[in-house]
Chains A and B, each alone.
Chain A
Amino acid sequence: MLGNDYFRLAHNDVTGKPRLHPLAVDLGCAAALLAELIGTRRVHVEDSAISVADRRPPEDSLMHVILDQLIAEEGRRHDIRTWLNFLSKQAQTQLAQRLLRNGHVRISPVRRLGRQTGVLYVPVDMNVAAKPWALLSQRLRRHEPLNYDDLALAGLVLATGLESFLLDGATSATSEFLRHQVGRLWPLMRSLLHHTHAAIGDAVLAHRT
């Protein structure tokens, strides 16, 4: 699933620590949740408006929760930036919990000065955790044509600034290839990714502690 793959890419495969700054991880995970719904043609994006296309309950419980939220506030016509901001509050934890339910990660406490300050979701099997990164990185470096799932993941990577990790040490032709491939995504996804990229940029501008 796209969300799982993005979560794995955005976190260290051994320690479970994020590879991105917190705001980008949160917004990236929110975008990944919406991207899964877009990929399964549950929701539709046009310009900055988001609408529900298919109301049948999804099998996956997390997708079910997210779609329910979208349906409940359909009449309010929140734009995609509002949804990204809203989902970003919970998205990282929600994706981690899904991995936890399926036995892919375990919870490990983060302690600072003897107090628990948070939790990390540490991968159970680092080979599984590193797989999305290894496959995508290799395909991009070989300039292989990407299928939709790879493209969507590559798009999320580019929108959240993970490409410097994904293509570490690769030639500029490879990052050019990544940009070109992502430009081929269907407009719905490009619209989502454009807003994700801009939302992270705005968060950088309005940074405060």
Chain B
Amino acid sequence: MRNPDIPATSSNVASTLARSRLGTTAVVIFVMAAAAPLTVTAGGATSGFAITGSEGIPVAYLAVAIILALFTVGYVSMSRYLVNAGSFYSYISRGIGRPSGVSAAMIAILAYNAMQIGLYGGFGAVLSGWLNDRFDVSVAWWVCALAGWAVVGVLGVMRIDLNGIVLAVMLAAEVAVAAVFAIVMVAHPVDGVVSFSTLSPGFLVASGIGAALVTAVTGFVGFEATTVFSEETRDPRRTVARATYIAVAVTGLLYGGSAWALTVATGPDKIVSAAQEHSTELIFTLVQPHLGQFFVDLGHMLFVTSLFAALLSFHHTVGRYLFSLGRERVLPGVLGRTSRRTGAPKAGSIAQSVLAFVVLVGYAIAQADPIIHLFFWVTVSGGLGVLILMTLTSVAVIGFFARDHRGEPSWRRIGAPVLATAALVWMLYLTVAQFDVLLGVGADSPLRWLFPASFAAAAALGLVRAGLLKAWNPDVYVAVGMGANAAPASPFTLVPSLAEAGQP
């Protein structure tokens, strides 16, 4: 919006607007708090070890951080030229084509819903386990999950986000606790020797690494939200890029380091069996003898609040996608409505809550395991969806800048995006090929195809929808990816006869 060639200080308008703009730190905090570090270090990493049986999880986190940093180069460069830069499908629509854009939108809705709903499994199981251990209160996991669901549902419709300062304090506490836990675990290695074997790059070519890689990708989901704030940052060219790199680097080091510390404390050869035995309690079990009950309780509380912050954040993400697709009329226009008093994308928020409720009740009736079958299976499937979106976005960046260089250096338009695309395609291939390992089911189980196939079905649905729009609603089709700026969103673009009648 702001013309960057004009100095900000000499203009009343520019300096007034600059006062409310965000700096790098603020953007990093918003994004990292949503990614909820403890959710990954205590929940994602341990479940990853237990279910995939791979020791290579630590190096997978580091490798994924590097690949995502490469992806960020092109992603952030392209975000400056988009009007709806917060959503992957906008990039894909502009860079590859509108049919792929609509497909990507459907994949995104499925993927972010999966991330959100899967987290309820973790939230319910961890909260009910903790209540049972510490207070001797026996509550089924799904009761806890539904309690969380009710709070998220209400906060979603009322448009209450956790306050920025609360988020920042929680984030700082989470990072501190995760770091302290990691240091304690490294300081007390199992046989007195600190082993670096799980950080060996050799794991990246070993069999079964696909499962570890997508587990790692799942942990990073949320970092892409920096671009949502691109119009509100002090220096759109630099702030978003810097914030994204910082977020990826900090989370990468934290996750990789923390997962490695787990393997040091148990011994690299015993990490899988230890994770299978203790599940999400592993990290707390390992540090308890050295830190005492206070830190363990603090860690548990932060684990629960961190899961909750992630739940709320992904709920808002789904609401945002549904709102912007409703405004574009790609999905029914009712999803584009907002609540008058709160400005919440009401219909989208309610739709997400209803879907989550149905899934939770389904899991409760089926008596499925909340950690394995809901938290891990469903969130890593969401991670797979986001991986598909990132791969397509990376291709879109190449396509977008191939048509017009826009004065970007070749590293940003070709070099980094090509490398990122190659790496993402490689990860995607490994993930789909090894999905049975990821789920921990037999190689002939239909489940290994069911989860990836659901994304293929969503993509196919998107293609059909795009075809229908092109034939029946060309003005909607043309505006795909424009979000709230799409012309069909606005009641003011209609020009019926006697258009000039309403003059003063």
- Which residues from chain A sit less than 8 Å from chain B, CB to CB? 19-24, 39-41, 69, 72-73, 76-79, 81-83, 85-86, 89, 146, 148-149, 151-152, 155, 158-159, 161-162, 164-165, 179-187, 189-191, 193-194, 197-198, 200-209
Q: Is B430 an interface residue (CB 8 A)?
A: no
Complex alpha-carbon distance, A187 and B500, angstroms = 7
- As a 0/1 sequence over residues 294 to 332 of chain B, the CB contacts with chain A under 8 angstroms (1 = contact) are 000000000000000000000010001001100100000
Complex alpha-carbon distance, A85 and B18, angstroms = 11
Sampled A-B contacts (12; CB under 8 Å):
A23-B343, A73-B12, A158-B491, A161-B337, A186-B502, A187-B499, A193-B492, A197-B484, A200-B484, A202-B484, A204-B344, A208-B229
Is A39's CB under 8 angstroms from B504's CB?
yes
Is B500's CB under 8 angstroms from A186's CB?
yes
Q: Using Cβ atoms and an 8 Å threshold, which residues of chain B touch A207?
A: 159, 161, 316, 343
Is A182's CB under 8 angstroms from B491's CB?
yes
CB contact under 8 A between A198 and B490, given known A148-B504, A184-B499: yes
Complex alpha-carbon distance, A155 and B492, angstroms = 8
Closest to B501 in A: A184
Highest count of chain A CB atoms <10 Å: which of B483, B491, B502 = B502
CB contact under 8 A between A179 and B494, given known A20-B340, A151-B502, A205-B86: yes
Is B324's CB under 8 angstroms from A205's CB?
yes
Complex alpha-carbon distance, A86 and B16, angstroms = 7
Q: Is B212 an interface residue (CB 8 A)?
A: no
Q: Is B228 an interface residue (CB 8 A)?
A: yes
Q: Using Cβ atoms and an 8 Å threshold, which residues of chain A touch B367?
A: none
Q: Using Cβ atoms and an 8 Å threshold, which residues of chain A touch B86?
A: 205-206
Q: Using Cβ atoms and an 8 Å threshold, which residues of chain A touch B338?
A: 21, 161, 204
Q: Using Cβ atoms and an 8 Å threshold, which residues of chain B touch A194?
A: 487, 490, 492-493
Is B502's CB under 8 angstroms from A185's CB?
yes
CB distance from A106 to the nearest CB of B (A): 24
Complex alpha-carbon distance, A79 and B6, angstroms = 14
Complex alpha-carbon distance, A191 and B494, angstroms = 11
CB distance from A196 to the nearest CB of B (A): 9
CB distance from A190 to the nearest CB of B (A): 4
Q: Using Cβ atoms and an 8 Å threshold, which residues of chain A touch B492?
A: 155, 158-159, 182-183, 185, 190-191, 193-194, 197
Is A21's CB under 8 angstroms from B491's CB?
no
CB distance from A56 to the nearest CB of B (A): 17
Q: Which of A76, A180, A202, A209 contacts B496 (CB 8 A)?
A: A180
Is B485's CB under 8 angstroms from A183's CB?
no
- As a 0/1 sequence over residues 450 to 489 of chain B, the CB contacts with chain A under 8 angstroms (1 = contact) are 0000000000000000000000000000000001110101
Q: Is B495 an interface residue (CB 8 A)?
A: yes
Closest to B485 in A: A198
Closest to B162 in A: A209
Is B484's CB under 8 angstroms from A201's CB?
yes
Complex alpha-carbon distance, A197 and B490, angstroms = 7
CB distance from B243 to the nearest CB of A (A): 13
Q: Using Cβ atoms and an 8 Å threshold, which residues of chain A touch B345?
A: 204
Complex alpha-carbon distance, A76 and B229, angstroms = 24
